[in-house]
A and B are shown apart, each in its own frame.
Chain A
Amino acid sequence: MKPVFARSLALAFALSLAGLAAPLAAQPAPKPAPSPKPAPSAAATAAAQAEEGLTGSVTDESEWQDLGIAIPTFPTNEMLPTAADGGNTEALGRNLARVIYGDLKNNGLFKPVGPDALPAIAFGEVAAPAFANWRGRSAEMLVQGFVKSASDGRLTVGCYLYDVALGSELARQGYVVKPEEWRRAAHKCADMVYARLSGESPFFDSKIAYIAETGPKGNRRKQLAIMDSDGANHRFITNGQATALTPRYSPDYSKIAYLSYLNGTPRIYVYDIGTGRQTLVTEGKGPTFAARWAPDGQSLLYSMAIAGNTDIYRVPVTGGASVKLTDSPGIDVGGSFSPDGSKIVFESDRSGSQQVYVMNADGTNQKRVSFFGGRAATPEWSPRGDQIAFTHIAGNLRVAVMNPSGGEMRHLTDSWQDEAPTWSPNGRIVQFFRTAKSTGRTGIWQVDLTGRNERKLNTPVDGSDPAWGPVLP
């Protein structure tokens, strides 16, 4: 068993070199599930020290990318009709494996092989893999699972992660879901694999709110829309009659705060997804924009302009009096809470140009943190607390990160116009939107913290203003 452990550590180490790993103390290196290993000693300590010395550095992760993960179709014990995609449990098993494959393929860490390129396995093999066959295919990791349909239509999905070289099981989980939620079972399985192999927190089982854009540059139609983290289950919330902008999911996904020109002027509304009703965030007279939720979902920040002067306010989600947090004669706008809710990072041009400031959640102790030239806008605090993503404006608009004190600034993107970063629930990926020069076409993109693994999300039409929500319970 010793070689396994060494290899697991090596994986964790490779990740930390890539600037992607949680501290080893917080998230121990993967251990074979069946027989927990004793606490790592010398090797782990060395790795931890090495990681500390490399904090924030970006190095090559090609070694890690060599990890091959085979994901064959999830067999079923009995082919039964189901309301889930595929129509029956056999076809559904292939779709489940495809979703897991898509999740793992798209984050830049793994080289998975999906069910369409692999032989089918028998139901009995799920818990007893034919390791020798998989070694022959040079798969290092194996994700197997099954799907069953109960008489009430509910689905049971099993998910197993195996280390092929060792011939041992690393993790397993089971999920019971309604047929229409079948993709969530696949995302949960992908999350288990990702978390087990990377030592990071999961993020696939989450949703994104954004603005769908159509029409020519001079007359864009902008609709509020939502989708799963992989673009599935896409749904338009507004019909585009009134321009919609800058949505934010509440932490429990029950509401979306967004800007609408519904009555001619820009105002923030809180839309209840269950009832379809929406309310104004404040009855205050001025235009309101830049809504942001507190981490506990109990209050909201919004920015309001009065006689041309914009300040940031906080209001309980149930309504009631707003508290004014900023009072500078300049534009104070946006705001993003630290994960513990104690601080707010925001944007202000009180110094003469847009810069990033941090204050206590009650508005006291406002301090500028960005001092690296150019303008710094749209700061968003990482869910891990260790980074602030923002838009750096120096000629082009680029997505960048810095630590909460304004140090260690580095760009993640380099394009004509990238703006408005939003974090993945685990604080490892930043999503943003990119505008094309001249045409004004927009698209939602994401990039990992190395800045190397950048990709465009598939949306039915152009997209902007993405807002990523937390992992679903």
Chain B
Amino acid sequence: MNRQIITTLLLASSLALAGCATTPAELPPQPTGAPTTTTTTPPAPQPMGPAPGSRADFMASVLGDTILFDTDRYNIDSEDQGILQSQAQWLGRYPGKNVTIEGHADERGTRDYNLALGERRANAAKSYLVSVGIDAARITTVSYGKERPVALGSDEASWAKNRRSVTVTVE
């Protein structure tokens, strides 16, 4: 269903482009695999913006998908709580949606310990979401230890960004 809507939107936008006075340098390719029969579905009026319940919708609705931790710590501070509460609200709106919480550590630790630490951080975030009413069965955790840094420097600023948990919606 979502794909059909997107296809329709793409068609509409390419038609709009074709209608412009100036010819685009490069025309969008013809949509392939879009049989004309799909046009029998009347284009429902769609609000602009991401599809409800999608990952993009999650990102647009919450204060953030990431919370940060101090070195070796896994406590949820008030800023983290605000972010997690906004995630909980979104989850409350889409009871059919599940999330995975990824736990990460910075590079300045040993590998096995960092895997355990990432798991601990992911679980701290999960526990908070459960404490505000989200069913634990909707939340899985995975630790990446120090394997997946987002900031690539070897300095305090980068490490602070990498000590994190990230909530990812399951599509």
Contacts and interface: CB of A to CB of B under 8 A. Distances in A.
Interface in A285-299: 287, 289-290
A290 B123 CA distance: 19
Contacts of B127: 307-308
Contacts of B147: 220, 222, 243, 245
Contacts of B67: none
Interface stretch (A72-80, A162-170, A433-441): A433-441
Contacts of B107: 417, 435, 440
A220 to B, nearest CB: 7
Given A217-B152, A218-B148, A440-B152, A420 B119 contact: no
A18 interface: no
Given A217-B149, A243-B147, A419-B110, A287 B115 contact: yes
Contacts of A377: 109-110, 113
Contacts of A216: 152
A44 interface: no
Majority SS of interface residues in chain B?
A: mixed
B79 interface: no
B115 A266 contact: yes
Central interface residue in B115, B121, B127, B154, by most chain A CB within 10 Å = B115
Contact of B116 (A307, A333, A435, A465): A333
A313 to B, nearest CB: 13
B163 to A, nearest CB: 15
Given A220-B147, A308-B124, A354 B113 contact: yes
B153 A308 contact: no
Contacts of B152: 216-218, 438, 440
B111 interface: yes
A289 B115 CA distance: 8
Contact of B142 (A217, A265, A465): A265
B91 interface: no
Contacts of B123: 305, 307-308
Q: How large is the interface on B (under 10, 10 to 19, 20 to 34, 35 or more residues)?
A: 20 to 34
B72 interface: yes
A334 B124 CA distance: 22
B108 to A, nearest CB: 7
Nearest to B142: A265
A109 B139 CA distance: 57
A391 B110 contact: yes
Given A305-B116, A308-B120, A310-B119, A246 B154 contact: no
Interface in B140-168: 141-143, 145, 147-150, 152-154
A50 B149 CA distance: 52
A438 B153 contact: yes
Interface string A202-246: 000000000000001110101000000000000000000001011
B112 A378 contact: yes
A354 B121 CA distance: 16
Nearest to B120: A308
A331 B116 contact: yes
Interface in A360-394: 377-378, 391, 393
A243 B123 CA distance: 22
B74 interface: yes
B122 interface: yes
B117 interface: yes
Nearest to B125: A308
Contact of B112 (A290, A308, A393): A290
A472 B116 CA distance: 34
Given A218-B150, A308-B119, A438-B153, A264 B142 contact: yes
5 contacts: A289-B115, A331-B117, A349-B113, A354-B113, A440-B107
Interface of A: 216-218, 220, 222, 243, 245-246, 259, 264-266, 287, 289-290, 303, 305, 307-310, 331, 333-334, 347, 349, 353-354, 377-378, 391, 393, 397, 416-417, 419-420, 435, 437-438, 440, 465
